[in-house]
Amino acid sequence: MHELVGALRSYAWGSRTALAQLCGRPVPSAHPEAELWFGAHPADPARVQINGHSESLLELVSADPQRELGPVAGEFGGRLPFLLKILAAEEPLSLQAHPSIEQARAGYARENHAGVALDAPMRNYRDENHKPELVVALNRFEALAGFREPRRTVRLLTALDVPELTPYAELLAAQPDSAGLRTLFTTWIALPQHALANLLPKVLDGCVRYLSERDAGYDGTPKEFTAEVRTALELAEAYPGDAGVLAALLLNRITLEPGQGLFLAAGNLHAYLSGVGVEIMANSDNVLRGGLTPKHVDVPELLRVLDFEPLELPIIEAEQTGPGIYRYDTPAPEFALSRIELAADADPVPLHAGPGIALCTHGNVRLLQGKHELIVECGSAAWISAADGPIRAAAADGPAQLFCATAGAD
Ligand SMILES: [Zn+2]
């Protein structure tokens, strides 16, 4: 096992305080800090500290996949199959979905054939992989994910009391299923500019009215769609005139409490809104965007990959599998994630065998391997290779929290 230093990614939607605070650096940071990557992704691999020198995890794994990854090497082409991140969103991220593995393979080949450069801004498929992802909240984490049950969406559209919305509400009421959602989403996302410029302000007026009527209410309880409506207004402020604001009205508005997870399978339309979380995904960069972004948006391709099946409640509660050990169950073969709550002065907890990454997100953790000991500070991690023997973890001082990422399900 070796210390692993994450690669800091600066994006406009990041936070100037969250990651710096977590890592014990001065705040505010010079740039908005969005993500801290712990993985072997070619775009920004983490650095392994070995005997006083620093080496890229990508190079370490590529040099000897058998030693570092063990049996996992054969299964995933000699590459670490997952990317682990800490993500800090101050502003909403784009509305997006990820392809299935079949769609990614076909799309990648299609764009190669068409001669679109791998780094071209309009390139949709940068690799041949799918990108299932799981985010676990470190603090309150807000997101839009998956299509809401259509009858509830009809109630929301009706509650906004905007005459121009009536035909759309009626359309969905007549077909309250995935086909109705597909028709409505496709209509809205492809509205001609003048129609959008007419509809959107009226919808936003309806949103303002809905919220102010709540203030005029007497029993003090928030109305059913307060969070949904407020989010639409916030998105409209950040992305004026964007059809993604309408699309957002069709999605589940989700709040994750610390420790809760959200799993996004292929085709699930989603947008992270705010919060700090640990995210793990298959090692891929394939994103189809549907709006709420200045980046490339390819609506026809997005429509091809979207899953319009309504999603009940995509929140994942971790299952306790040992003292202080909580496991997030997902169908993804590329990764498994556990959270370990380490009490001060408690006995060391055995960790899952490598290959894997142990990431400290609270306090400091002591990792023990035979007589060897490694202190992992908050915001830092350890690389555990397949060749490493059994490793145990304990709180170094005061309570600590550790996320353990391994490849694939057992
Ligand atoms: Zn995503």
Q: Are 290 and 97 in contact (CB under 8 A)?
A: yes
- Gap from CA of 133 to ligand 1 centroid (Å): 7
Query: 353: closest CA among 315, 299, 392?
Result: 392
| Ligand 1 center–CA 81 separation, angstroms | 17
Q: Which residue of the set 79, 123, 289, 327 is catalytic?
A: 289
Handedness of CA 98, 104, 107, 111 (dihedral sign): positive
Ligand 1 center to residue 167 CA distance, Å? 31
Predicted local confidence at residue 285, as pLDDT: 85
- pLDDT value for 219: 64
Asked if residues 224 and 214 have their Cβ atoms less than 8 Å apart, the reply is: no
Phi, then psi, of 183 in degrees rounded to 5: -60, -50
Dist. CA 267 → ligand 1 center (Å): 10
How much is the pLDDT for 218? 59
Q: In angstroms, what is the span from residue 405 Cα to ligand 1's centroid?
A: 18
Give 159-214 as a DSSP string: HTT-GGGHHHHHHHHHS-SHHHHHHHHHHHHT--HHHHHHHHHHHHHHHHHHHHHH
CA of 186 to the centre of ligand 1 (A): 20
Q: What is the DSSP letter of 259?
A: T
What distance in angstroms lies between residue 194's CA and the mean position of ligand 1's atoms? 30
Return d(Cα 334, Cα 214) in angstroms, integer. Answer: 46
pLDDT digits (tens, 9 = 90+) for 81-100: 999 999 999 999 999 999 99
Other beta carbons within 10 angstroms of residue 201's beta carbon come to 14
Can you say whether the dihedral through the CA atoms of 188, 190, 196, 200 is positive or negative?
positive
Longest CA–CA span in the chain (Å) reads 72
Q: What is the pLDDT of residue 313?
A: 78
Whole-number Å distance, alpha carbon 293 to ligand 1 midpoint, is: 13
Under 8 Å CB-to-CB from 46, ≥6 apart: which residues? 4, 5, 6, 7, 37, 38, 39, 40, 56, 57, 381, 383
Report how far ligand 1's centroid is from the alpha carbon of 202 (Å): 30
Give the Cα separation of 130 and 127 in Å (integer). Answer: 9
Task: Please give the C-alpha separations between residue 61 and each of 2, 70, 86, 281, 386, in angstroms, as whole numbers.
Answer: 13, 10, 22, 18, 11
**Alpha carbon distance 382, 33 (integer Å):** 21
- Write out residues in the chain with pLDDT < 50, as ranges: 216
131 within 8 A of 284, measured Cβ to Cβ: yes
What distance in Å separates the CA atoms of residue 85 and residue 337, rounded to the nearest whole number? Answer: 12
253 is catalytic: no
Task: Give distance in angstroms: CA of 145 to centre of ligand 1.
Answer: 10
- Give residues with Cβ within 8 angstroms of 33, minimum separation 6: 8, 9, 10, 14, 15, 16, 18, 19, 20, 88
Ligand 1 centroid – CA 172 distance (Å): 26
The pLDDT value recorded for residue 151 is 97
Over residues 350-387, the pLDDT tens digits come to: 999 889 999 999 999 999 999 999 999 999 999 999 99
Would you state the pLDDT for residue 220?
65
CA 290 from centroid of its chain's CA atoms: 16
Which tokens sit at 294? 């200045």
